[in-house]
Amino acid sequence: MAPSSSPTLRTTSEADEEKYANVKWEELGFALTPTDYMYVAKCRQGESFSQGKILPYGDISISPCSPILNYGQGLFEGLKAYRTEDDRVMIFRPDQNALRMQAGAERLCMTSPSLELFVDAVKQTVLANKKWVPPPGKGTLYIRPLLIGSGDTLGVAPAPENTFLIYASPVGDYHKVSSGLDLKVDHKHHRAHSGGTGGVKSCTNYSPVVKSLFEAKSSGFSDILFLDAATSRNIEELSACNIFIVKGNIVSTPPTSGTILPGVTRKSISELARDIGYQVQERDVSVDELLEAEEVFCTGTAVVVTAVETVTFHDKKVKYRTGEAALSRKLRSMLTNIQMGIVEDKKGWMVEIDRCQGW
Amino acid sequence: MAPSSSPTLRTTSEADEEKYANVKWEELGFALTPTDYMYVAKCRQGESFSQGKILPYGDISISPCSPILNYGQGLFEGLKAYRTEDDRVMIFRPDQNALRMQAGAERLCMTSPSLELFVDAVKQTVLANKKWVPPPGKGTLYIRPLLIGSGDTLGVAPAPENTFLIYASPVGDYHKVSSGLDLKVDHKHHRAHSGGTGGVKSCTNYSPVVKSLFEAKSSGFSDILFLDAATSRNIEELSACNIFIVKGNIVSTPPTSGTILPGVTRKSISELARDIGYQVQERDVSVDELLEAEEVFCTGTAVVVTAVETVTFHDKKVKYRTGEAALSRKLRSMLTNIQMGIVEDKKGWMVEIDRCQGW
């Protein structure tokens, strides 16, 4: 497959002239800056995904009677492409996103792309949008794979067709904060329940939290922290990222027992913390413990590793260690140094974008 | 607004010739039979919906970065149009659907159409598709209003634009059963949790139940019955309809306290049961009570009133009264007689479709 408009077919001199898209890199936040291309593949129920197409980025056409529009049958992923100082473009652990999409598809009775097809599709998308990968230090190219139930189903049922789509956008920081986030603990709403979909990256986990998030932001908070639905005693996660607490040499984070998203950054940061001698515990973490922690931080593809400066629970507001002395600062550096190619990737996490299969 | 293709602009003789669409009415089930027209209106965040358009039914165009595709920001409704023996076309309590969509929009931080605009849009949709309303006794025209988050939002946030869309399909029975449904109680998954979206008709409540439903159907059951997430002791609802139990003179149904959909048919059937001398209790109903009931039935726009013949909970299977002697049979007749214009509508539930505002 070689789309006629593929940027890989340009001559080298043309490519050099157009190394970067016309973007004010310094002004990037976490909002959509549309890029040139997206990837689209479709698959009928009972069949397997085969190679999709790189198409010009733009609106898609979908049935009003599709399961994604009527019943929320959809999954998404988020990962990033990084431009290194020596001008290589790298992506971070795409295999983990592929596996998580497979787990989600199993939960929602959808058909997911194979690991190989997923990773190849991500590579193709990044390669096609290479000039949108920000210069080193100016941001990253956020990559959003979607798996959505398409076709027609009037009743609640598995989708007759699944569409795998990837788009991308250059992004800067998710939160515009100086020292750390100001979190509010939500004691009215929950994000997930046992036997629900909190453990997969289902679209259905996100619109239900918008109200809490919006209200918290209107009151000056950065984000909301949810408690478990069963007891309302243990912390779970923020609107869209995982949480860690630090006390002494112990770093603790809620376990992935079905109501917590198994974050790729969460997993990677746990490994890096162990590498530098911290004991990492995946276990129930009570609000009481949170309030007594020395440090709190959150992790996610969008937020990377971000320190929490304060947590407010009812009328109580607790302040945590942030800044140079914080473990989160160190872990963030360790992670981004790997991602940006500043230190050697001894873990095999980074995948370099090169000419892809099928191009 | 008078779309050039509007069927209301045809002459009377043309309309008579085309009184009915070319449908094999006897073969209708609950699946999509596309009709001629759909209704579409759009509204930017912070503004109000104004009159939309009747457009030819077909795929819609939407941003890959829209909140409905990424974050499940969407609501739906379901109501029906009925053709009476004297050839009037009626809809059932559309105001109730309008109000429920408003409640859902408030929960999901969306903008909903006003009650008047909603009802008018439903009328326009039915009128435009009048020849798809089945002959009396052959089925109904199912009407599906959607409110979906459109526009672009890369992060989790209220949608910058909302799209209100209505499509329709002639349908027959939702369940193809002779005497009643065979339900399985799901003791692993829950449908909703306190502080979630179970009390509104959010799309996010539906794809998470597909797996349970699919597995139950694969084992020969008609549908699945969920228990409350907090205690797993009380019954809540099926995959897409409410439940009632009957014992003696008492009809009981779970209360709408945030995890149960406030069904329009549920409310109407409660009123009809009271009219004929039953005591209707909205309260927690335990699985134990369910298993000891004399009769069980479910209600919903799609299922109308459908008897439950058996319930299976773990290894226990209980059989209930069905057939002519069942209260559900009587209530179904009372309801459908009103809907089909066979008895006088003393409650003001039916709305006749006539020339609509704006046409």
Q: Please report whether residue A352 resides in a domain.
A: no
Domain identity same for A263 and A119:
no
- A148 membership: H or E segment, kind and range: strand A140-150
Q: What is the DSSP string of B171-198?
A: E--SS--SS-EEEEEESS--S--TTSST
Q: Which residues of B touch A209 (CB under 8 A)?
A: 156
Count of A–B CB contacts within 8 Å? 223
Mutate to test the interface with A, among B142, B156, B261 (most CBs of A within 10 A): B156
Domain identity same for A335 and A242:
yes
SS (H, E, C) B244-311: EEEECCEEEECCCCCCCCCCHHHHHHHHHHHHCCCEEEECCCEHHHHHHCCEEEEEECCCEEEEEEEE
Q: Please report the pLDDT score of residue A5 as a whole number.
A: 42
Mean pLDDT by groups of 10 residues along chain A of 359 residues: 43 63 93 97 96 97 98 98 95 98 97 98 97 95 98 93 98 82 94 93 97 95 95 95 98 96 98 98 98 98 95 97 96 96 96 68
Domain identity same for A132 and A248:
no
What is the rounded CA–CA span in Å between residue A202 and residue A214? 20
On the question of pLDDT at B222 being above 80, the answer is yes
CB within 8 Å of A356: residues ≥ 6 apart: A120, A123, A124, A127
Annotated catalytic residue within B123, B130, B184, B201: B201
Domain identity same for A200 and A116:
no
Total number of domains constituting chain A: 2
Q: Which residues of A touch B72 (CB under 8 A)?
A: 72, 74, 202-208
User: What's the pLDDT band for B8 if we cut at 50, 70, 90?
Assistant: very low
> Residue A69 and residue B171: Cβ atoms within 8 Å?
no
On the question of pLDDT at B223 being above 80, the answer is yes
Domain identity same for B26 and B139:
yes
Q: Which residue of A has its CA nearest to B148?
A: A69
Cα separations in angstroms, B231 against A141, A231, B118 = 44, 11, 38
SS3 A3: coil
> Residue A71 and residue B206: Cβ atoms within 8 Å?
yes
Q: Please report whether residue A311 resides in a domain.
A: yes
Domain identity same for B192 and B166:
no
Q: Please report whether residue B219 resides in a domain.
A: yes
On the question of pLDDT at B142 being above 80, the answer is yes
Chain B nearest CA to A103, separation (Å): 13
User: What's the pLDDT band for B13 if we cut at 50, 70, 90?
Assistant: low
Domain identity same for A239 and A332:
yes
Per-residue DSSP letter, B202: B
Is the torsion defined by CA of A268, A271, A277, A282 positive or negative? positive
With a pLDDT cut of 70, the percent of chain B lying above it is 94
Mutate to test the interface with B, among A193, A206, A218, A301 (most CBs of B within 10 A): A193
> Residue B32 and residue A154: Cβ atoms within 8 Å?
yes
> Residue A72 and residue B202: Cβ atoms within 8 Å?
yes
Q: Report the residue from B59, B202, B240 with minimal CB separation from A156.
A: B240
Domain identity same for A165 and A202:
no
* CATH code of the domain containing A153: 3.30.470.10
Q: Please report the pLDDT score of residue A174 as a whole number.
A: 79
Domain identity same for A223 and A101:
no
On the question of pLDDT at B7 being above 50, the answer is no
Give, in degrees to the nearest 5, the angle at Cα B256 between B250 and B262: 100
User: What's the pLDDT band for B175 if we cut at 50, 70, 90?
Assistant: confident
SS3 A104: helix
Chain B nearest CA to A32, separation (Å): 5
Q: Which residues of B touch A229 (CB under 8 A)?
A: 193-196, 229-230
Chain B nearest CA to A166, separation (Å): 9
> What are the start-end ranges of the H helices in chain A?
12-17, 67-71, 94-107, 115-128, 210-218, 264-275, 287-292, 327-339
Q: Which residues of B touch A67 (CB under 8 A)?
A: 207
What is the rounded CA–CA span in Å between residue B235 and residue A353? 52
Q: Indicate the pairing of strand A161-171 with strand A89-92.
A: unpaired
Q: Which of B154-163, B175-184, B189-198 has the lowest mean pLDDT?
A: B175-184
Give, in degrees to the nearest 5, the angle at Cα B241 between B238 and B246: 80
> Residue B213 and residue A156: Cβ atoms within 8 Å?
yes
> Residue A206 and residue B158: Cβ atoms within 8 Å?
no
Q: What is the DSSP string of B343-358?
A: S--TT--EEE--SPTT
Domain final residue, candidates B172, B189, B211: B172
Q: Report the residue from A65, A190, A211 with minimal CB separation from B107.
A: A211
Beta bridge partners, B243, equal B298
Chain B nearest CA to A12, separation (Å): 31
Identity of the residue numbered A104: G
> What number is the average pLDDT over the span B316-341?
96
- Check: CB of residue A146 under 8 Å from CB of residue A41: no
Q: Report the residue from A167, A202, A229 with minimal CB separation from B194.
A: A229
Domain identity same for B25 and B76:
yes
Domain identity same for A26 and A57:
yes
Q: Please report the pLDDT score of residue B173 as a whole number.
A: 82
Chain A nearest CA to B346, separation (Å): 32
CA A214 to chain CA centroid, nearest Å: 20
Annotated catalytic residue within A19, A53, A201, A330: A201
What is the rounded CA–CA span in Å between residue A144 and residue A197? 19
With a pLDDT cut of 90, the percent of chain B lying above it is 88
> Residue B31 and residue A189: Cβ atoms within 8 Å?
no
Q: Please report whether residue A46 resides in a domain.
A: yes
Q: Is B201 a catalytic residue?
A: yes
Query: Residue A14 is part of which domain span?
Result: 7-172
Q: Which residues of A touch B165 (CB under 8 A)?
A: 64
Q: Which residue of B has its CA nearest to A66?
A: B59
- Check: CB of residue A210 under 8 Å from CB of residue B108: yes
Q: Report the residue from B38, B107, B230 with minimal CB separation from A64.
A: B38
Chain B nearest CA to A98, separation (Å): 17
Domain final residue, candidates B172, B198, B230: B172
Q: Please report whether residue A344 resides in a domain.
A: no
* CATH code of the domain containing A265: 3.20.10.10
Phi and psi at residue A15, to the nearest 5°: -60, -40
Q: Please report whether residue A345 resides in a domain.
A: no
Domain identity same for A160 and A199:
no
Q: Report the residue from B60, B196, B207 with minimal CB separation from A190.
A: B196
Q: Indicate the pairing of strand A60-62 with strand B60-62.
A: antiparallel
- Check: CB of residue A192 under 8 Å from CB of residue A198: yes
What is the rounded CA–CA span in Å between residue B244 and residue B186? 17
> Residue A210 and residue B71: Cβ atoms within 8 Å?
yes
Residue with tokens 């309303």: B133
Chain B nearest CA to A109, separation (Å): 6
Mutate to test the interface with A, among B165, B210, B238 (most CBs of A within 10 A): B210
On the question of pLDDT at B2 being above 50, the answer is no
Q: Which residues of B touch A64 (CB under 8 A)?
A: 38, 57, 59-60, 144, 146, 165, 167
Domain final residue, candidates A149, A172, A195: A172
> Residue A32 and residue B154: Cβ atoms within 8 Å?
yes
> Residue A208 and residue B108: Cβ atoms within 8 Å?
yes
